[in-house]
Structure 1
Amino acid sequence: MLHITVLVPFLLALMIALLRGKLPRLHRGWMVLAGPLALFVYFLTRIPVIKGGDSGYETVSWIPSLGIDLVFHLDGLSLLFALLISGMGTLVITYSIYYLDKRKEELTPFYVYLLLFMGAMLGVVLSDNLMVLYGFWELTSVSSFLLIAFWHRRQKSRYGALKSMLITVFGGLAMFAGFLMLYVMTGTFSIREIWSQTGDISGQTLFIPAMLLILLGAFTKSAQFPFHIWLPDAMEAPTPVSAYLHSATMVKAGLYLVARFSPVFAGQHEWFWIVSGVGLITLIYGSIQAMKQTDLKALLAYSTISQLGLIMGLLGMGSAASFYTGEEAVYYTAATTAALFHLFNHAIFKGSLFMVVGIVDHETNTRDLRKLGGLVSLMPVTFTVALIGSFSMAGLPPFAGFLSKEMFFTAVLNIRELDILSVQSLFTIVPVVAWIASIFTFAYSMIMVFHTFFGKYQPEKLDKKPHEAPFGLLLSPILLALLAVVTGLFPNMLSKTLIVPGMNAIHPQIAAGSPFYVNIYFWHGFTTEVWMTLGVIILGIVVYRIYGRLSLVDKEWGRGRGYTLNQVYDGSIRLVERTSRSITGLYMTGSMRHYLMYIFTLIIVVVGGSMLYTDGITLGQGEYAPISFFEVVAVLVLLTGTLAIPFAKSRVSAILLTGMVGYMVTLLFILFRAPDLALTQMIVEVVSVTLFLLCFRHLPRLGREKVKFKLKLPKLIISIGFGATMTLVALAALDSSPFESISTYYTENSYKLGGGKNIVNVLLVDFRGFDTMFEITVLGLASLAIYSMIKLKVEPDNKPAAVKSMFDDEKPRYSRSNDVLLQSVAKVAFVIIITFSLYLFFAGHNNPGGGFIGALMAAAALILLAIAFGMDFVEKVLPVNYRMLIAVGILLAFLTGIGSFVFDAPFLSQAFGYFELPVMGKTELTTAMLFDLGVYLAVIGVTMNIIFTIGRDN
């Protein structure tokens, strides 16, 4: 069931995308809402199971030979995050229905991106395989990039999206390297199996580098200092995106990663110092920066950075429990308890505050604190929600934020008693830093609510008269505010259901010795924490009053001289762009000849040099089959045509000579008894020559179509060197390969495992189905790229005559023949060729043929029809959208691969059997035929899309 929960958002996104334009005139959000709501309900039903000590564990075979399977694991930690992802997703989608106007916004892309992000986040928190986790991790970066850039016409949106993606992907790649190091040390990608080997790998050389790289990924994703700079700029996203990504999900992914790998690294002093230190620095820095903001979303952005630092610091301090055993270990896990509780509280109050800011912006057309004020009488419900959210963020009773803040103070006070590396006195600074940051947190929370809703009402600075938001827009923040109150009054409803199971997942070694017990309540007496809270309130009020008296809200702080981190980032990007442009300009000349020279030279140096310095390579010492007279003639004709191409006087001559070389290769395949290759080569030559001829209309003028040939020594050396290198490689592969030939395996198992006697076809659709699937995907992308380049080209009016088409004077839309004999033959030949194409497709699994060859044959028939009657006629008789045909073919091939999951088999596994069919009798049926059908459709679509695109003259 867990793999279904991850798949649901993706399937829903696909459905919304495919039905675009065909859905009723209903807001897209209503159609999307059921998905996350159902997921939230499902995860709620898992609470009793996880609370009882069980965990969900499911495996879907994917690439077992590499140890990469879709393994999903649900424990207390992943359950907490899954509930936040699905629950906040439900509320955010409800909010977006009333926030985004279906008449003004492109809602389909918005919900597709949002669902992709939701599915990716669920994949991150449920994955037990490192490679699968990394794949979902990067998908969160891509989908968040699309969401942040949703209003892509705004330069700030594009800038913020690009910054977030560059920083988080940079961290993701570092994390990926750390994962590979863990695999090298443990030999497994399973997180649970890595846990069990922690004691064996902690002393290895790669252990600390792996830890640092994984932390780099966590810090970039969770906006820790100095990687926090992407989060404020990401606030250019629509408010529902900010409420979802930047309060409850994406920014929490780094926290999840630290918590998930605590069982592996928490016993290291470096882990404690780095995680705690970075968290506390981020906490104090973010709280100070939040005081400087005049934009409500910017204020919330920096407050989010500060709160993320608080939780990160708590996770780091909680790792101190790994240095002790028994009651001492449990004593220091108080920090982890506070981290989990505040993680939940932060999602609640920060989500509600983001939605409040969206409502204020929606009703006043501004988020500028200098223009706002006096809204309490106009928007009383919104004010109430803002008050609850702000007070909870400030840590005031009776709200949930007060309890987690008190637990935070308890954790930092406990840290004073640590004695790590004989620096016990240093830990006295930690409570001071936490206390100062809490003062600023209190102050900016008061600014958030009182500067917005109290003070002087300034209608002259507003674009429209504000009023209370509709109920639909208020529903989600009201529910979150109520949850903040209920959690504050009844905190222990989370203790045994979510917090204790989460603790068990983060500290499994401690939990195995003594079960965790969490009891959260308001009054503990006049403790140090209470006095710290009173000090926060008193000094917080003073800071707030000073802030107001000095009218700092009218000033933009932090705009002074000196270099900021954002300036460093912008300067680095400009430097990289200038440097890459300079370097690229040296070799990207626009000449295809130059590019081929670079490629061939590199191959000669790398491959040829490797052969020279590699021992054991022998050339031409094996026993080869005798060479027949016909093979000698074919090779001589092939060489003659090849040598004649550079001396051709026109493009037509060069094309015909190239075709002759191709047909000689076809003849060699026939002589070598390779009918599949011969058929493919022959049809490819037909299509290639046709494409060359169609390209004539797009080529620049050449004097009388003559090609001036100048023999240049470098080109001659490169061409001879490349040919010699490839010949030597072929001889070496035949004579001195250190590996046993794999052809025997395919010969013995093509029918046994793939159900086909045609080894070539079984290779393409079964043994190497991955290659084929990605090949048709690449072909499809190339075809669409050609279509885009030709359809979207813009030619200036003052285009030089030298680059105008040779047919500019005629401007026919399509080329066609007026030969009556050709048209008469084409009608008959078309039926014969199509029939033969279908025969090749159906017979290909056991005889020469297959989907690829059959598709090329069908494309050749369509090309013949187009040449004889014109492309207008073909489009009229066969009104096929070939671009859609590409998509259908690739999708069919992909779905065939996914279908194996239903039978608990690896991706793209094939099955076959014999069935009694009417008329046909006993017949072999194989799932490979469905995959081959996808190849057939995709190749026809690719070929004809290119032909029809290039054949047009517009």
Structure 2
Amino acid sequence: MSWLHMIILLPFIYAILVPVFYKLYSPRIHTGWFVLPIPAFIFIYLLRYISPVSQGDVIFNTVPWIPSLGINYTTAMDGLGLIFGLLITGIGALVILYSIYYMSKIREALHNFYVYLLLFMGAMLGLVFSDNIFVLYVFWELTSISSFLLIAYWYQRQKSRYGAQKSLLITVFGGLAMLAGFILLSMITGTNSVREMIAQVDDISASGLFVPAMILILLGAFTKSAQFPFSIWLPDAMEAPTPISAYLHSATMVKAGIYLVARFTPIFGGTLEWFWIVSVIGIITLLWGSVSAVKQTDLKALLAYSTISQLGLIMSLLGLGSASMYFGYSQESTMYTVAMGAAMFHLINHATFKGCLFMVVGIIDYETGTRDIRRLGGLMTLMPISFTLTVIGSFAMAGLPPFNGFLSKEMFFTGLLNANQLPIFGMGTYGIIFPVIAWVASVFTFIYCMIIVFKTFTGKYQPEKLEKKAHEAPIGMLIPPVVLASLVVIIFFFPALISESLLKPSLEAILPGFTQDGAFTFITNIHPWHGWTPELFMTIGVVLFGVLLYISHKKWSWIYRIAPDAFSLNYLYNWSLEKAESSSRGITRQYMTGFIRDYLVYIFAFFSVILLSSIWVLKGFSFDATNNASVSIYEAILVIGMVIAALAVLFSKSRLTAIISVGALGYIVSLLFVVFQAPDLALTQLVVETVTVALFLLCFYHLPEFRKERTRVRFRLTNLFISLGVGITVTLIALSAQGNRLLEPISSYFEGSYELAGAKNMVNAILVDFRGFDTLLEILVLSIAGLGVYTLIKLRLAEGDNK
């Protein structure tokens, strides 16, 4: 097992130790101090891979898991995986440091918080470094489960449970769709490796399963990254503690869908379907998220919708940039790769400024007791450091200089304008919609960024509306957002720090055909001033219109009240859940009647209909009597005797006659075993039958006497059809099984029981050796039942003694 495997497993292993630390040292030492070294160590370890990965190396390691199914624990680190790995661990370390102070006064199951956080971190690392699609799926669903636990950390709150349930239902639905897409890809290519699939891209695109596989995988990506219309789970996830919100929204869970689209772009990119679906969904999400954010009054809700908007921006860039694969590498096609470069650049920038903003909002909530914008204001002089951090984060998100968001926003506009010139996919006609929608969404992005800054920190201070007296946060809580805000400024002035080492290798992973020199020269030429370009004029227009609309916000905010709540996606979600619950209750009441007869009718009817229809459709019935053995006179006599004995039991008028008839039936069966040359079975049957008859005779006095009772049984046509159906079905299956043999009989294998198991008795060999575990478990079940009976007897005796 390689070191890369170990760093993925390290958070899972350490999560086992967290409760021990919590029990031994809490509350003297905050549990977060024990957890902090893990992401810090992994982050430092991953830094050593920057040099080889930037030179084009891909680090592969494989550990066999289920080799018979082609499922191995294969890790692969390239430029794309490295970016996500650094974000997961780097932001994770800052979030844990922040949580140590933010949650210092919380005593409710704090160890659970860090256990869930480590599980989530390990799942995200496994996701971005997995090359096997089914291992990737395991980690993918583990992120859904661990995020569910994190969002529901305060499970006593109804809103926390609701938000966790919503996120789980939506993301798991997408995950199952993604799994179906993975299965289709595996069927097409015959491999489970993403790298090997990329090598067979021509075969995949020529398959009839190409589009279904693509749509199913995109469902997984869109649900996880909160793309429209699946974005409704993200605002409700704000019920999680603020450190979790900062982690989920800036670097991890919502970025998983972005990673998935980027990773599978080499397979699906360059096609009409992928281009339009990813681009259009992304641009709609960008607009919807930015417009929805403006009307929010809760700072965390506003940031949640801003995250949706920013994720839509990145997703649209991934879709537009994928068009470059249509042409392959050429000097003309490199202009269309700018969108892909902007996506990866903004991915990093978004993690820095959004993580900073969430932490600052947590500080405001922590120090004032509220996140309601209507109750805040005038905090600039009381919380000057938080104000400075908010300005840096918000202005970066608005795309203003001198912050890193300005650089990626300019590249975003460049990518849109270049895509508008695409001579394919109908962009000559419809391409203009992308820059127009993006510009409108950018105006609303500017507005909500100004709301965060000025509505919170300027204006009149209202202490009577606050739960606490506002003051600046402790230095330990300020360090993480200060680090992120510093990166926002540093990246603006020194973008070369990440362009060659991180951005270029990630683009080489997403666009593997564009590895020639000069393919990504725009990455190495990132700088603030490009002259008086259309992109700069678009930014100036965003600022002018944004300021105008911000100032007049109260005059036009009424438009948000036009559409009733019944037309919202949340209402549709809630209505669907209510209808599903009521429908399921109605259906359950129909078949859960409490009568055994009804249950048997359902079971036998389903059994008969399914099997008979299968036999009919598949033409499965055939009967071949040529190989049947002849029936001897002894066998016929014994069978007739068995029938007579069985009928005698049914029509007996006394207990003694019934017992004798049961015994006679058992002994005749043992004689039949003798005729079939099975002395061991005959002996077993004789012993069992003798013991059974003896027991009946011993408790003869306690057996109920036979009484003549006349009970009128009403004729039911349903019973007749069910009985005939089951009888015909079983008979046909038995006859077909006799005439159809798909495989060699297993009896020939058991004939070698002496050589294989050293047993002279085949039955004993089957029970003890070939089916040893099965027999062991049967003995275990009997032992448990015996202990249960013994316990009940002892309890009854103890109860009698007490009386």
SS of alignment partner, residue 64 of structure 2: strand
What's 1:226 paired with? 229
Note the C-alpha offset of 1:66: 2.8
Which range moves more in the overlay, 575-584 or 844-853?
A: 844-853
Note the C-alpha offset of 1:336: 0.8
- Choose which of 79, 87, 92 in structure 1 pairs with 2:90: 87
Checking the alignment, whether the CA contact within 8 Å between 1:385 and 1:477 is kept in structure 2 is: yes
CA spacing shift, 1:164–1:620, aligned 2, 3 Å: farther
SS of alignment partner, residue 374 of structure 2: coil
Checking the alignment, whether the CA contact within 8 Å between 2:622 and 2:735 is kept in structure 1 is: no
- Choose which of 524, 534, 546 in structure 2 pairs with 1:528: 534
SS of alignment partner, residue 191 of structure 2: coil
CA spacing shift, 1:329–1:560, aligned 2, 3 Å: same
CA spacing shift, 1:588–1:865, aligned 2, 3 Å: closer
Tell me the distance in 2 between the aligned counterparts of 1:712 and 1:426.
Answer: 71
- Choose which of 257, 260, 274 in structure 1 pairs with 2:260: 257
Summarize deviations over 1:732-787 as a string: whole Å, max 9, x none: 435412233466678889999x9999999999xxxxxxxxxxxxxxxxxxxxxxxx
* RMSD over equivalenced CA pairs, Å: 4.3
SS of alignment partner, residue 370 of structure 1: helix
SS of alignment partner, residue 70 of structure 1: strand
The AA in structure 2 aligned to 1:230 is W
Checking the alignment, whether the CA contact within 8 Å between 2:50 and 2:501 is kept in structure 1 is: yes
CA spacing shift, 1:480–1:646, aligned 2, 3 Å: farther
- Choose which of 91, 104, 108 in structure 2 pairs with 1:105: 108
CA spacing shift, 1:845–1:469, aligned 2, 3 Å: farther
What's 1:499 paired with? 503
Note the C-alpha offset of 1:315: 0.7
Which range moves more in the overlay, 122-131 or 253-262?
A: 122-131
Checking the alignment, whether the CA contact within 8 Å between 2:753 and 2:762 is kept in structure 1 is: no
What's 1:852 paired with? 777
1:298 and 2:298 aligned = no
Aligned length: 760
What's 2:70 paired with? 67
SS of alignment partner, residue 567 of structure 2: coil
CA spacing shift, 1:591–1:145, aligned 2, 3 Å: farther
Aligned pairs (5 A) from 1:527-676: 527-547=533-553, 550=555, 560=564, 563-613=567-617, 614-615=619-620, 617-618=622-623, 622-623=627-628
Tell me the distance in 2 between the aligned counterparts of 1:144 and 1:742.
Answer: 49
The AA in structure 1 aligned to 2:438 is A
CA spacing shift, 1:94–1:623, aligned 2, 3 Å: farther
SS of alignment partner, residue 420 of structure 1: coil
The AA in structure 1 aligned to 2:593 is T
Q: Which runs of 5+ in 1 are unaligned?
A: 687-705, 764-839, 874-954
CA spacing shift, 1:16–1:526, aligned 2, 3 Å: same
The AA in structure 2 aligned to 1:618 is F
Tell me the distance in 2 between the aligned counterparts of 1:154 and 1:211.
Answer: 39
- Choose which of 458, 466, 470 in structure 2 pairs with 1:466: 470
Summarize deviations over 1:509-542 as a string: whole Å, max 9, x none: 1225865342122222332222322332233222
Tell me the distance in 2 between the aligned counterparts of 1:81 and 1:741.
Answer: 54
Tell me the distance in 1 between the aligned counterparts of 2:300 and 2:53.
Answer: 37
1:125 and 2:116 aligned = no
Tell me the distance in 2 between the aligned counterparts of 1:846 and 1:293.
Answer: 65
- Choose which of 104, 124, 138 in structure 2 pairs with 1:135: 138
Tell me the distance in 1 between the aligned counterparts of 2:382 and 2:419.
Answer: 47
CA spacing shift, 1:306–1:737, aligned 2, 3 Å: same
The AA in structure 2 aligned to 1:10 is F
Tell me the distance in 1 between the aligned counterparts of 2:485 and 2:680.
Answer: 73
Aligned pairs (5 A) from 1:748-827: none
Tell me the distance in 2 between the aligned counterparts of 1:154 and 1:218.
Answer: 29
Summarize deviations over 1:315-362 as a string: whole Å, max 9, x none: 111112112231122221111111001001101111111111111111
Tell me the distance in 2 between the aligned counterparts of 1:216 and 1:23.
Answer: 45
The AA in structure 1 aligned to 2:320 is M
Tell me the distance in 1 between the aligned counterparts of 2:301 and 2:144.
Answer: 21
Tell me the distance in 2 between the aligned counterparts of 1:470 and 1:603.
Answer: 69
Tell me the distance in 2 between the aligned counterparts of 1:214 and 1:449.
Answer: 38
Aligned pairs (5 A) from 1:688-707: none
Checking the alignment, whether the CA contact within 8 Å between 2:623 and 2:738 is kept in structure 1 is: no
What's 1:149 paired with? 152
Q: Which runs of 5+ in 2 are unaligned?
A: 693-708, 799-803
What's 1:313 paired with? 316
Note the C-alpha offset of 1:727: 5.8
What's 1:401 paired with? 405
The AA in structure 2 aligned to 1:597 is V
Which range moves more in the overlay, 590-599 or 740-749?
A: 740-749
- Choose which of 848, 853, 866 in structure 1 pairs with 2:791: 866
Which range moves more in the overlay, 344-353 or 408-417?
A: 408-417
1:96 and 2:99 aligned = yes
1:163 and 2:166 aligned = yes
Checking the alignment, whether the CA contact within 8 Å between 1:761 and 1:845 is kept in structure 2 is: no
SS of alignment partner, residue 208 of structure 1: helix
SS of alignment partner, residue 326 of structure 1: coil
1:47 and 2:53 aligned = no
Summarize deviations over 1:421-446 as a string: whole Å, max 9, x none: 45425323432322222222122112
SS of alignment partner, residue 76 of structure 2: strand
The AA in structure 2 aligned to 1:440 is F
The AA in structure 1 aligned to 2:220 is G
SS of alignment partner, residue 464 of structure 1: coil
The AA in structure 1 aligned to 2:623 is T
Aligned pairs (5 A) from 1:439-478: 439-478=443-482
Rg larger for = 2
Tell me the distance in 1 between the aligned counterparts of 2:165 and 2:710.
Answer: 46
What's 1:190 paired with? 193
1:382 and 2:307 aligned = no
- Choose which of 355, 364, 369 in structure 2 pairs with 1:365: 369
Checking the alignment, whether the CA contact within 8 Å between 2:268 and 2:274 is kept in structure 1 is: yes
SS of alignment partner, residue 183 of structure 2: helix
Tell me the distance in 1 between the aligned counterparts of 2:753 and 2:530.
Answer: 73
Tell me the distance in 2 between the aligned counterparts of 1:380 and 1:225.
Answer: 37
Checking the alignment, whether the CA contact within 8 Å between 2:382 and 2:471 is kept in structure 1 is: yes
SS of alignment partner, residue 327 of structure 1: coil
CA spacing shift, 1:355–1:849, aligned 2, 3 Å: closer
Tell me the distance in 2 between the aligned counterparts of 1:12 and 1:427.
Answer: 50
Tell me the distance in 1 between the aligned counterparts of 2:448 and 2:383.
Answer: 21
CA spacing shift, 1:13–1:712, aligned 2, 3 Å: farther
Note the C-alpha offset of 1:673: 8.8
Note the C-alpha offset of 1:23: 6.4
The AA in structure 2 aligned to 1:292 is K
The AA in structure 2 aligned to 1:532 is M
Note the C-alpha offset of 1:38: 2.5
Checking the alignment, whether the CA contact within 8 Å between 1:120 and 1:137 is kept in structure 2 is: yes
Summarize deviations over 1:624-661 as a string: whole Å, max 9, x none: 69999999999999998999899999xxx9xxx9xx99
Tell me the distance in 1 between the aligned counterparts of 2:781 and 2:81.
Answer: 49
The AA in structure 2 aligned to 1:36 is P
Summarize deviations over 1:559-612 as a string: whole Å, max 9, x none: 646622222222233233333332332222233442233122211221233235
Checking the alignment, whether the CA contact within 8 Å between 1:294 and 1:556 is kept in structure 2 is: no
CA spacing shift, 1:855–1:579, aligned 2, 3 Å: closer
The AA in structure 1 aligned to 2:227 is Q
What's 2:6 paired with? 4
The AA in structure 1 aligned to 2:136 is L
Tell me the distance in 2 between the aligned counterparts of 1:90 and 1:646.
Answer: 81
CA spacing shift, 1:859–1:711, aligned 2, 3 Å: farther
What's 1:483 paired with? 487
Checking the alignment, whether the CA contact within 8 Å between 1:757 and 1:845 is kept in structure 2 is: no
Q: TM-score, normalised by structure 1?
A: 0.71
CA spacing shift, 1:399–1:95, aligned 2, 3 Å: same
Question: Identity percentage over the alignment?
Answer: 50
